[in-house]
Structure 1
Amino acid sequence: MSEYKGRIFGKSVQQATFRSFYGTDLFLGEILSAEDAERARRFLFRVIDVTYGSDSADPTWPERTAGAYMSGDAAGTPYTLHDPEQRLYKVATCAPLGYIDASGDFRKPKSLPAQFARVTAPAAEDFAFLRERMGDMRIGLLRSGEDTIDLEVGIQGETLTSHVGVFATTGMGKSNLMKVLAGQVLASQGRYACLLFDPHGEYLEGGSGTRRGLRDHPWAAERLKVYATRATGAGATALRLSLAELTLGDLQTAYEWTSAQQDAIYRLIRFHREEWLTHVAEVDIDTLVEEIGVAAATMSVIQRRAQRILDMPCISRDPSQPSLSARIVDELMDGYSVLVDSSGLSSMEEILVASVITRRVLETYGGIYLEDRERFAALPPTLVALEEAQRVLSRVKRSDENVFPRVAREGRKFKVGLCAVSQQPKLIDDELLSQFNTFFILGLADEKDRNILRGSSKQDISNLGPEIQTLMPGEAIVTNLEAPFALPAQVWLYEEYLKSVQGPAPLPARPEGAGKGFAE
């Protein structure tokens, strides 16, 4: 592209303004370039605002001219403005992104381009410095305003363990992005692993209509393991956790407990060890009150929850059942992606299941790190993806027993990353959010959500509020340590992405006559 856009006339190292023709289309988020031939530099800018301008010295002229148009409308005699291209123009305010020097290296903006420098749409070679930074987990194309640029945008798979945030309001493309990201993990053929909790049953099958899911991925048959609480077709294993796999920390993560209730649980564990949940569920309240010495109301809450847990379809009381969470961890360590379809469970039950499995992942990887560094080095970086992550990452949920903040703080050391998917990042503890090195920001209408991300992003997005607010479904802002600035992206539609994925090589054709006997 070499479209002419206008000429720079101000303002500073941190903000540039240029004048454009009245008829030139300019869009928020558009990336433009300006050449400084004297210094052999090519500057890149991002449009953050567009305003009207006129050559009239009278500041009231635009208002009076609008009135003349209105009078013509009322009288049925349209008003005509002579030479609008000469009298009217647009002014774009831009955030400087940096410049490319004579050697082709990209540098942060610490200098001004030549005043009145020519502004154009960028050429393909302007983004050559980005190609080597885009990593092997590609999710779409670089976007400039309403257009896309032939440059795939992505992140390094090794950075998955530095945690990923996917933030957007409903309908803006979170699920599609997650399927593309999980699809890339599948396509890595075991180089990376992913544990994906699916509370809505949309990742596996794709949801409604013609949408496709992870089951349709060319590598699903070889690299995807599925556990479900409902019938999901061939290839899925029933999600049945042993009661012995539940820890007190999992119960504290899934449920809110008062101090009195926690004291009662500690006493029950001291008296009945691993059998305390079954004991509470089966013994009458009066006996429990006398045994433990707590109020009947306190014990009643504990008993109701214990009974509900034992009645969950994904909990088995059979003490001889092998550990399902251990099996899942083994599959992750072998480079498989594991999808846990928890649709049909309540929110608390789903968190309980996710906590049990995630705790086993973190503890197993951490144990291998301490005991066998050679084996640890061979483990694939593993991403744990959780929907509505604000439920377990809020400030009120920060406790020593909650495994998810532990993953955010300690996971990268043990090759375990957390992918927090949320519509309300403002509810996530800002200290935990600062641990996330990669953000995929789709449309967010709430200013509080945008503000919390602005303070935690690894790239400056302070000027991108209006752009984020006006993103269309599938459009995203990507920030991470590898990118030199926040990258605007158009995420691939998962169904289109599947067409580009090369699956396992088919078996060679059987030679003609191979079935005949030697005697023949």
Structure 2
Amino acid sequence: MILGEKLGKVVSIPDKWTLTFIVTYENKDKKPNLGDYIVIEKEYSENPEEEVKWLAIVEGAREIILGENELEVKNLLAVDDIGENEKKKYFATEFICKLIGTFYDGIIRPYPRYLPNRGAKVRYPTSEELIEIAGIDSDGFKIGNLVVGGIKVAVPSSNMGIRYIPFKFNLRRLDNRRTAVFGQSGYGKSNLTKALITGYALHNPNKAVCIFDRSGEYVNASEWSKSLCEVEPIVQEQNTTVQGQTTSPGYIEGVTVKGRIVSIEVSKVLFNLEDIEIGKIIEHLLREDDKKLKALDHLCFATPDAIKEIIRLVYANIQNPNDIQILSDLIDKLEKLMQSSRSVNYSKVEAALRVLKNVVKYYYTPNSPIPVELINWIREGKIIVFNCSNVGDEVISRLTRFVVSEILNYNSEAYVTQQPMLDCLFLIEEAQNYLNQDKARDDNDPIIRLAKEGRKYKLGLIYVTQQPSAIDDNILSQTNNFFVMHLLTNQDVHKLCSIAPQYELYAENIQQEPIRGTAYIYSNVYEEFIKPFPLVVCTELENFNNVVAVVNTKRKAFVQPIDKRKEIEEIFVKKLMEFIKNGIKNISWRDLWGEINKELPDDNIYKNSYGGGKPYPSKNIIHVLEEKYTIIEVEGKNYVIKPVRKPGKTYVERYSLESIETSEND
């Protein structure tokens, strides 16, 4: 790809989304790759920046023979080679492109409303245009580099000669939203999620993250991948070191605290059942067969102290199975607690004892900080990692449902009573076990509730799976962010495209190109400063080891403070109010944004970010503020802020500032 270079002209428009252009044999070195972006614009224009440009992607190609000499050329090829002059005369490649949007007002918009004409110029994007494509979230966290046509794009740089175009992701997109990470094992899902969690934690020092880590890789480094515990800004808080490990005083073995990270080794630490209501034990920790027996229902009306004593006796009996006195005391206590039922008999006491032994054996850890500390950790913005690497699926499933249920119930009560809710982002792996169609039928399942109602309760979810086709359709349709890597089956790719049609252009690449570390990313989040992606962006993901190295050595280069948006917003509002108070009814676009740009501090990422060396803020932030502030109140009156364009032009020339009373009279 030669940035900005002309490729040819539009020769046909077969349908409303497709066009073709031809590259001659003489220009064969300029031929684009499948998946390359191209730009279509008028052949000649006095002010090209002010015209609409179309963005397309190369979908297919076929070799053609020019003119009416096809049979003659085929005969020549059959008997002899053709010389260079004949090749230049006859040979060419026709490229088929899919229109995917327009550049309008400096913003990429999907789904063009009208089409280019035949003869329109076809060229490669300029470096500024590619940066615009990759810079949807210019104030985000870098997770990789832009890939076009299967190749990482390099652009000129004054400092380094060339540089790759970074792709940044605004981590506010994860807040209270559903995020899907799809891909086969070994293609970089964990590498990506560790980078996302790192960025999210750094951007949000008061927001918690809860990770159910099936392989132990989030807290335990391997020889090829670092862990979250090696991200220095996350573990900078003072800790007490015991035998080479950082641990919090008073916690039992298996609970390790490193700064904001609380690591729980699930094979050693589970629940302190003494602090859990018997109803919750029945709901979350009993097997389905044991629930049907209703063996513990008789204990639902017992006092908390009585339940604690029963659990301690059961644990003592398991530890000392030959101690007759402990068993006798246990049976005596159970009989007394169950005497309120007329139908109580020894068989029911025996059934209750058997069920309690199973629960205590597999889920009880004396002095465990769970569940008592769980809410405190979430409130403090900790990163809680449940290391499930040495336990079975059933334990992981019950642990996950219990923890999610506790936070959901806390926030649902706070929502009703209008108290502050807890901010938390959950990461759940092997999501097909929790979010499939069978599970989705149960609206009381805590993980289904999290997926469907999380936004209402300020809870976000990242769910990871190799099998998107196993996820319930309703949950998929409510997913806001997609990170898609190599998928193996037609069923998975078809399901993805049916829910997110934006992926249809990339379906073959996702299935046929098993490239490790390549992700196709789309987000439909629309909230204040955040806009939906106009198109799927292909990214070569940053290796997490590099993420750690950059964050540890030069944090500001990787993490941009979120409040920089508010800084430019405040200056924008202040300027508008000044103009209105001074009786100014019209202000030119250039004057307004030029003055705002001057007032921005040098460390604000939006300053001078318009492109092309122009002294204006980012196009994206300008567009967002134009949309947000259509009306502004000044001294008790409402004023309409209206962008005004020249007739037949797409760019904003000026803003009119009129009171609502005046505009209504007009």
Partner in structure 1 of residue 566 of structure 2: none
Kept in 2: contact 1:55–1:87 (CA 8 A)? yes
Q: Partners in 2 of 1:229 and 1:44 — Cα distance?
A: 59
- Aligned residue type for 2:450: V
Q: Partners in 1 of 2:283 and 2:554 — Cα distance?
A: 43
Residue pairs, 1:89-104, within 5 angstroms: 89-101=92-104, 103-104=105-106
Q: Partners in 2 of 1:88 and 1:250 — Cα distance?
A: 75
Q: Partners in 2 of 1:251 and 1:29 — Cα distance?
A: 54
Partner in structure 2 of residue 257 of structure 1: 288
Q: Does the residue aligned with 2:23 lie in a helix, a strand or coil?
A: strand
Partner in structure 2 of residue 514 of structure 1: none
Residue pairs, 1:471-482, within 5 angstroms: 472-481=515-524, 482=532
Q: Partners in 1 of 2:37 and 2:344 — Cα distance?
A: 67
Partner in structure 1 of residue 12 of structure 2: 10
The two structures, once aligned, show a CA RMSD in angstroms of 4.1
CA shift in 2, pair 1:35/1:329, >3 Å: farther
Residue pairs, 1:96-495, within 5 angstroms: 96-101=99-104, 103-108=105-110, 109-126=112-129, 127-128=131-132, 131=135, 133-134=137-138, 136-145=140-149, 146-148=151-153, 150-207=165-222, 209-222=223-236, 235=258, 236-237=263-264, 239-243=269-273, 244-245=275-276, 257=288, 262-264=291-293, 267-273=294-300, 309-312=359-362, 315-316=364-365, 318=366, 321=367, 323-373=369-419, 375-376=420-421, 379-380=422-423, 382-398=424-440, 399-457=442-500, 460-469=502-511, 470=513, 472-481=515-524, 482-495=532-545
Kept in 2: contact 1:240–1:315 (CA 8 A)? yes
CA shift in 2, pair 1:13/1:422, >3 Å: same
Kept in 2: contact 1:475–1:490 (CA 8 A)? yes
- The answer for unaligned runs of 5 or more in structure 1 is 70-78, 506-520
Q: Residue 390 of structure 1: CA displacement? A: 0.5
- Deviation track 1:362-402 (CA, whole Å, cap 9, x = no partner) reads 122222222244x33xx54x210111001011111221342
Count matched residues: 474
Q: Does 1:49 align with 2:60?
A: yes
CA shift in 2, pair 1:440/1:396, >3 Å: same
Q: Partners in 2 of 1:128 and 1:388 — Cα distance?
A: 35
- The answer for unaligned runs of 5 or more in structure 2 is 154-163, 240-245, 319-326, 525-531, 556-666
Rg larger in structure:
2
Q: Does the residue aligned with 1:99 lie in a helix, a strand or coil?
A: strand
Partner in structure 1 of residue 157 of structure 2: none
Q: Partners in 1 of 2:535 and 2:385 — Cα distance?
A: 33
Q: Partners in 1 of 2:234 and 2:187 — Cα distance?
A: 26
- Aligned residue type for 1:499: A
Q: Partners in 2 of 1:248 and 1:6 — Cα distance?
A: 72
CA shift in 2, pair 1:323/1:498, >3 Å: closer
CA shift in 2, pair 1:31/1:201, >3 Å: same
CA shift in 2, pair 1:263/1:479, >3 Å: same
Residues 426-435 or 495-504, more deviating: 495-504
Q: Partners in 2 of 1:305 and 1:361 — Cα distance?
A: 26
CA shift in 2, pair 1:270/1:49, >3 Å: same
- Deviation track 1:482-517 (CA, whole Å, cap 9, x = no partner) reads 211222222111111223215799xxxxxxxxxxxx
- Aligned residue type for 2:508: P
Kept in 2: contact 1:193–1:332 (CA 8 A)? yes
Partner in structure 1 of residue 614 of structure 2: none
- Aligned residue type for 1:113: P
CA shift in 2, pair 1:131/1:205, >3 Å: same
Q: Partners in 2 of 1:479 and 1:141 — Cα distance?
A: 15
Q: Partners in 1 of 2:299 and 2:167 — Cα distance?
A: 57
Q: Partners in 1 of 2:146 and 2:470 — Cα distance?
A: 30
Partner in structure 2 of residue 27 of structure 1: 33
State TM-score, norm by structure 2.
Answer: 0.62
- Aligned residue type for 2:183: A
CA shift in 2, pair 1:9/1:413, >3 Å: same
Q: Partners in 1 of 2:452 and 2:134 — Cα distance?
A: 30
Q: Residue 221 of structure 1: CA displacement? A: 1.0
Aligned-residue identity in percent: 18
Q: Partners in 2 of 1:332 and 1:164 — Cα distance?
A: 20
Partner in structure 2 of residue 515 of structure 1: none
- Aligned residue type for 1:195: C
Q: Does the residue aligned with 1:212 lie in a helix, a strand or coil?
A: coil
CA shift in 2, pair 1:249/1:455, >3 Å: farther
Q: Does the residue aligned with 1:18 lie in a helix, a strand or coil?
A: strand
CA shift in 2, pair 1:155/1:246, >3 Å: farther
Q: Partners in 2 of 1:431 and 1:67 — Cα distance?
A: 57
State TM-score, norm by structure 1.
Answer: 0.78
- Deviation track 1:116-158 (CA, whole Å, cap 9, x = no partner) reads 3332221232243763545534422222121235242313425
Q: Partners in 2 of 1:206 and 1:346 — Cα distance?
A: 22
Kept in 1: contact 2:36–2:57 (CA 8 A)? yes
CA shift in 2, pair 1:62/1:268, >3 Å: farther
